Amino acid sequence: MSDIYVYGERRPLPEDPAFDSFLDPTQTAVVSIDMHEGHLSEDADCPCPAPRAREIVAPIDRFHDACRARSIPIIHVRTVLRASGRDDIKGGVSAWRLVFPLYVGEIPGADQHALQGSKWTNLRTRVEPDDEIVETKKRLSIFHPTDLDFLLRNMGVRAVIFDGGFTDCCVLNAAFDASNMDYRVVVAQDLVRGTNEEMEDAALKMMSLHMALVMDSEDILSAWDARGESSSEAAE
């Protein structure tokens, strides 16, 4: 039996076949969001710091290894903007560049965020040869204007596990879009980080109510293993 979080309360996942599609390992991929140096670097000129996410780099790597051992594919999505600036600062400026500093203050070097060819696009989490990378993310959603949906459908994926950052920004946008596209969404709540604890909590609660199963990563693995054991027993 695995647990989920519903509006922040941990409770058992209902034993209802309707939830099987969320945790079917044969149709699942893990999508790791924006775990790159532009958020995670300790350098003073980091263009969009997400310091809370630094603590999940090693846990995400361990989770990904456990997924690979179970033949669950890993897809790393990272924001990469043309070096010319035409995707953003010299084109249609992203709204976050205007409104986020109202809360956090001026962000030194923000114009360098995710620029193609810069060190800020380097992934901090480990990438293995069989992993996939999607690097056409230009805005907050991992689906716009990327080819992620095309890739997932060609892989036969109908359920996605999200980890990475920001919980209250790109992960939340990903969950909305994936759910609206009829993917089954699971959010690994211990492997996402956001602006602060308050915003993480609010985002996870919203996702749990409207679009996703919110679970600990160990419970996700346990649910897959239990399903595999059930399938083996049925075959005997």
164/108: higher pLDDT: 164
How far apart CA 224 and CA 78 sit, in angstroms, is 27
Q: H/E/C letters for each residue in 158-183? A: CEEEEEEECHHHHHHHHHHHHHHCCC
How far apart CA 178 and CA 176 sit, in angstroms, is 6
Domain spanning 21-235: CATH 3.40.50.850: yes
Helix 197-210 crosses helix 172-180 at what angle (to 10 degrees)? 10
- Percent of the chain beyond pLDDT 70? 97
pLDDT, position 228:
78
When computed from its CA atoms, the radius of gyration of the chain, rounded to whole angstroms, is 18
pLDDT higher than 70, residue 235: no
pLDDT, position 229:
72
Question: Global pTM?
Answer: 0.96
Sort strands 212-215 and 184-193 into parallel, antiparallel or unpaired.
Answer: parallel
Of 209, 230, 234, 194, residue with least CA distance to 50: 194
**Contact criterion met (CB below 8 Å) for 200 and 193:** yes
Dihedral pair phi/psi, residue 115, rounded to 5°? -70, 135
Angle (CA) 3-168-75 rounded to 5° is 70
pLDDT higher than 70, residue 236: no
pLDDT higher than 70, residue 44: yes
Q: What is the mean pLDDT of residues 136-144?
A: 97
- Percent of the chain beyond pLDDT 90? 94
Beta bridge partners of 149: none
Residue 233's pLDDT band (cuts 50, 70, 90)? low
pLDDT higher than 60, residue 88: yes
pLDDT higher than 90, residue 232: no
169/1: higher pLDDT: 169
Q: What is the mean pLDDT of residues 12-36?
A: 97
What is the tens place of the pLDDT at every residue in 148-177?
Answer: 999 999 999 999 999 999 999 999 999 999
Coil, helix or strand at residue 97: helix
How far apart CA 71 and CA 86 sit, in angstroms, is 39
What is the tens place of the pLDDT at every residue in 171-221?
Answer: 999 999 999 999 999 999 999 999 999 999 999 999 999 999 999 999 999
**Contact criterion met (CB below 8 Å) for 154 and 180:** no
How far apart CA 192 and CA 56 sit, in angstroms, is 7
Strands (E), the chain: 3-6, 9-12, 28-33, 74-79, 132-137, 159-165, 184-193, 212-215
Where is 201: in which H helix or E strand?
Answer: helix 197-210
Mean pLDDT, all residues of the chain:
96
Residue 21's pLDDT band (cuts 50, 70, 90)? very high
